[in-house]
Amino acid sequence: MLANGEVLDSPVVLATDERRDLAVLQVKAVNTPMLDLGDSNALTVGESLVILGSPRGLEGTVIAGILSSVRDIGDGYKVLQTDAAVNPGNSGGPVMNAEGVVVGVVTFQLRSSQGLNFAVPINYVRDLLNNLHELISLEQISKTITPRSAHNDSRETTLRETLEWLREKIPLGIITLSLFSVAILLR
């Protein structure tokens, strides 16, 4: 469903990356506004960022922050760290630079800390766009997905413990924070 309430029928999945919790969807739409994709390798720590989303169902929310760091969390898998105040519902939302170009996709936050939020660099999405597979319906793909629980510990964890846990789990594809974190509309 688009922000204007229009429901798009028959979406298909063109590519998936379970490790990064990403999917590329194709929908039938006319005159749909689109955002340009930037180059996440050109980002500079300290750069201003803007994130769009629907935290806790509050549609059309805009959040500002900075790029705090670009972190390698193992096996060359990088994430963008931002201090922007993301919440559940921002997951899958675009992270844009000051020019309004998408440079990342919100994926997760550390619940044990404030201001430690992470996004997948948009260049990973570009790779997905270059490696499309056979069209799969949402019904077909939902049959292949096994729900997995995220790290859930009653005590507060340290950043070091969380990063070690992420290094251990993400390369194996064990963590799933949402069904898919991004849907890119292709015409």
Structural domains in the chain plus CATH codes:
12-172 (2.40.10.10)
- Distance between first and last Cα of the chain: 16
| 121 vs 141, higher pLDDT | 121
Alpha-carbon distances, residue 93 vs 50, 59, 60, 96 (angstroms): 10, 11, 10, 10
Check residues 7 and 103 and name the one with the higher pLDDT: 103
Measured in degrees and rounded to the nearest 5, phi and psi for residue 24 equal: -110, 125
Write down the pLDDT at residue 102. 96
Residue for token digits 């922050």?
A: 65
Complete DSSP assignment for 28-75 = --SS---PPB--GGG--TT-EEEEEE-GGG-TTEEEEEEEEEEEE-ST
Sign of CA pseudo-dihedral 61, 45, 23, 74: negative
Backbone angles phi, psi at 117, to 5 degrees: -125, 150
Token pair 């991004």 is found at 182
Helices (H), the chain: 122-129, 138-144, 159-169
State the Cα–Cα distance between residues 142 and 140, nearest whole angstrom. Answer: 6
Higher pLDDT, 79 or 165: 79
Given a cut of 50, is residue 184 above it in pLDDT? no
| pLDDT band, very low/low/confident/very high, at 89 (cuts 50, 70, 90) | confident
Q: Residue 93: phi, psi to the nearest 5?
A: -80, 155
